[in-house]
Amino acid sequence: MLQSGRAARRQTMRAIRPRRDPAVALLAVAWAGAMAVLSLWWQNTAVVHMTTAEWLIGAGRITGLLGGYVIALVVLLMARVPALERRVGSDRVTRWHAMSGRYAISLIVTHVVLTVWGYAVQARTGLVEQTVTVVVDFPEMIKAAIGTALLLVVGFVSAGAVRRRMRYETWYYLHLLTYAAVYLTFWHQLATGAEFVAGSTARTVWYVLYAAVGVLLLWYRILAPVRLNLWHRMRVESVVDEAPGVVSVLITGRRLHRLGAEAGQFFRWRFLTKGLRWSANPYSLSAPPRPHLMRITVKAVGKHSTALAGLEPGTRVWAEGPYGAMTAGRRSRNKVLLIAGGAGITPLRALFETLPGGPGDLTLLYRASERRDLALWSELQQIAQRRDAQLMYAVNGPDGARPEITAERLKEVLPDIDEHDVYLCGPPGLADESYQALREAGVPSRRIHHESFEM
């Protein structure tokens, strides 16, 4: 069993101050930015009473400006900025990225249609002829057309029905085409946008916006991970079987406790060996970091996770992180319930060990199909005994009957359930069932802490 060191306990105690959810403030800033972008159009528009062609072109200018702004936000949300990943939560940042991507593509398509339509009405030509004229004769438009096509490809492969049929690695590398698309479409904005041609202020604002996003992307996606891995020099120490289809990977390195990782967080791991070096997958820490050792526990549910059982000691490891907001900092009550299902036990096992609490303050409920699927069970028993915490499991009956998690059963076990914080991690079905039961039992949504990476 991996015991947490003093550094990990101090880290948890520092994090126990509850934080305000920054989502409202961040969304307000994003909307303020959109209004500032609209002001660029307003300042460069002499009159609003216009002909049909001018109305169409004006609407095309507005959607083009907003599309360019939202694309910058899309890239920002791809940068894995720690302040967002840790305070907002990686799952919510991922959802924001997907949502803003849909808005960006919709705005850009609308911009193209309205602008070409407006020029066609103005020139009294057909849409196809006008499209060819715009792409061939306008400056930087060939690049923009290619970039727009790439954005449409990324949008198509990111649609849920398509993505679920693709290997993660294929989707990931196609998704990187976003960067090429942004580069190709950026220059035509400055070359043909009336707001940028007419004034240096708008060009300066646009350069600063895209340069700031580019710097954040370069630092957090490339330079910071390079620095982290050159300094900590991580390698696989051993692989341990924990349950059927579940293994723990022990990873050694230099001063790993200096990574600043907290219980409940995860890294994106790349194992530099055949078949694994080209993909980086997120796995949570299943124990607090020690100065020279970290551990992840993984259930075989796909090609990448299944291959981890065959890792050889000494395999070099490339990691990015730590990420995730499901930490002690979310806690606002003395009493805590942790509900885990399947591989979701990994971050909750680390929290179960490190969350401050007195006798009877902590309860962990572990849901699995069978007793033999309760990975890390002996460790959990030792933690529960040492901390005087309550440990329970719910497994299917001999006939396969599945025990339901309901508000009534939760109240039977914890009559004061509505006075608890709850950390929830598991498959989507368990998460939905548990969330509904907790809400019916009186637990406010702000005290149900959950991160999901289902897209």
CATH number, domain with residue 359 = 3.40.50.80
Beta strands 266-271 and 281-284, pairing class = antiparallel
**Over the stretch 384-435, which tens digit does the pLDDT of each residue have?**
999 999 999 988 887 777 888 899 999 999 999 999 999 999 888 888 999 9
Same domain, 114 and 127: yes
Does the pLDDT at position 259 exceed 50? yes
Same domain, 423 and 318: no
Closest CA to 387 of 448, 450, 336, 329: 336
Closest CA to 320 of 369, 359, 265: 265
CATH number, domain with residue 250 = 2.40.30.10
CA distance 336 to 422: 6
- For residue 300, being part of any structural domain is answered with yes
Annotate 329-342 with DSSP letters as a single string. Answer: GG--SSEEEEEEEG
* Cα dist from 303 to 126, 176, 278, 279, 280, whole Å: 51, 21, 13, 11, 12
- For residue 253, being part of any structural domain is answered with yes
Lowest mean pLDDT of 7-21, 97-111, 260-274, 308-322, name the range: 7-21
Cβ neighbours, 10 Å, residue 316: 14
**Over the stretch 301-342, which tens digit does the pLDDT of each residue have?**
888 889 999 999 999 999 999 998 888 888 889 999 999 998
The whole-number average pLDDT for the span 158-170 is 81
Same domain, 84 and 202: yes
Same domain, 411 and 426: yes
- For residue 11, being part of any structural domain is answered with no
**Over the stretch 33-43, which tens digit does the pLDDT of each residue have?**
999 999 888 88
Annotate 200-214 with DSSP letters as a single string. Answer: HHHHHHHHHHHHHHH
**Over the stretch 234-256, which tens digit does the pLDDT of each residue have?**
999 999 999 899 999 999 999 99
Does the pLDDT at position 1 exceed 60? no
Residue 45 pLDDT: 75
Same domain, 413 and 354: yes
Same domain, 345 and 359: yes
Same domain, 303 and 391: no
Does the pLDDT at position 270 exceed 70? yes
Residue 49 pLDDT: 62
Closest CA to 268 of 78, 114, 129, 70: 78
Q: Which amino acid is at 336?
A: V
- For residue 292, being part of any structural domain is answered with yes
CA distance 44 to 41: 5
- For residue 9, being part of any structural domain is answered with no
What's the angle, vertex CA 398, arms to CA 395 and CA 402, rounded to 5?
45
Residue 149 pLDDT: 94
- Counting other chains too, the contacts that 251-254 makes at CB distance below 8 Å and 24 or more residues apart are 251/293, 251/294, 251/295, 251/296, 251/317, 252/292, 252/293, 253/292, 253/294, 253/317, 254/292
Same domain, 130 and 257: no
What average pLDDT does the structure give for the chain?
88
Lowest mean pLDDT of 189-198, 249-258, 343-352, name the range: 189-198
Cβ atoms 66, 38 nearer than 8 A: yes
- For residue 173, being part of any structural domain is answered with yes
**Over the stretch 62-76, which tens digit does the pLDDT of each residue have?**
999 999 999 999 999
Residue 36 pLDDT: 92
Same domain, 65 and 184: yes
Residue ending a domain, among 302, 323, 344, is: 323
- For residue 138, being part of any structural domain is answered with yes
Under DSSP, is residue 368 helix (H, G, I), strand (E, B) or coil? strand
Residue 453 pLDDT: 54
Closest CA to 82 of 250, 294, 259, 272: 259
Number of domains within the chain? 3
Residue ending a domain, among 323, 351, 379, is: 323
> Strands (DSSP E) along 342-419, which ranges?
362-368, 390-395
Domain coverage including residue 271: 233-323
Same domain, 280 and 223: no
- For residue 15, being part of any structural domain is answered with no
Q: Is the pTM of this model over 0.85?
A: no
Name the DSSP letter for residue 138. Answer: S
Does the pLDDT at position 10 exceed 70? no
**Over the stretch 133-154, which tens digit does the pLDDT of each residue have?**
999 998 889 999 999 999 999 9
Same domain, 351 and 441: yes
Evaluated on CA atoms 422, 428, 432, 434, the torsion sign reads: negative
Does the pLDDT at position 114 exceed 70? yes
Residue 4 pLDDT: 53
Same domain, 283 and 341: no
Residue 160 pLDDT: 80
**Over the stretch 200-230, which tens digit does the pLDDT of each residue have?**
888 898 999 999 999 999 999 999 999 999 9
Residue ending a domain, among 227, 248, 271, is: 227
